[in-house]
Amino acid sequence: MLDPNFHLFRKTIDGKFKKLHSKRSGNWRVEAVKEDKCYSYWPTLIAEILCKRAEDPETAARHVTVSPTNPQHLAPTIAMREPPETEDLVAARLSRFKKQTIKI
């Protein structure tokens, strides 16, 4: 997210536009052309990373525990609910060669 955050407020070049086509809608639209990106933040970022690494007394290969409040633990799947057992999914899978009755 660094690149979009640092380049969010680039100025537009007056009178220059680029054409964009949307495959989804099939429409054309125009978008203003912006100034080129500059990466002046890179040296500072790299220096900070190296300083933090040099000051760290432990090895980089150490085990890190994840907090229980980490979003990774809140939703392990994108379905936002527990996934069914694999055996149940295999049993419920419809075969295109066998006609199965659906219970309602």
Q: What is the pLDDT of residues 63-99, one digit of tens each?
A: 888 888 877 776 656 666 676 777 676 666 655 566 5
What integer is the mean pLDDT of 42-57? 92
Residue 104 in this model has a pLDDT that exceeds 60: no
| pTM for the model | 0.42
Half-sphere exposure in the Cβ direction for 27 (13 Å, CA): 3
Q: Name the residue among 89, 69, 66 with its Cα closest to residue 79.
A: 89
Tell me the average pLDDT of the chain.
Answer: 80
Burial profile 40-64: b = 16 or more Cβ within 10 angstroms, e = fewer: eeeeeeeeeeeeeeeeeeeeeeeee
At 12-44, the pLDDT tens digits run 998 889 888 888 888 888 888 999 999 988 999
DSSP secondary structure letter of residue 28 = E
For the chain, what are the domain ranges? Answer: 10-56
Q: Are 15 and 32 contacting, i.e. CB atoms less than 8 angstroms apart? A: no
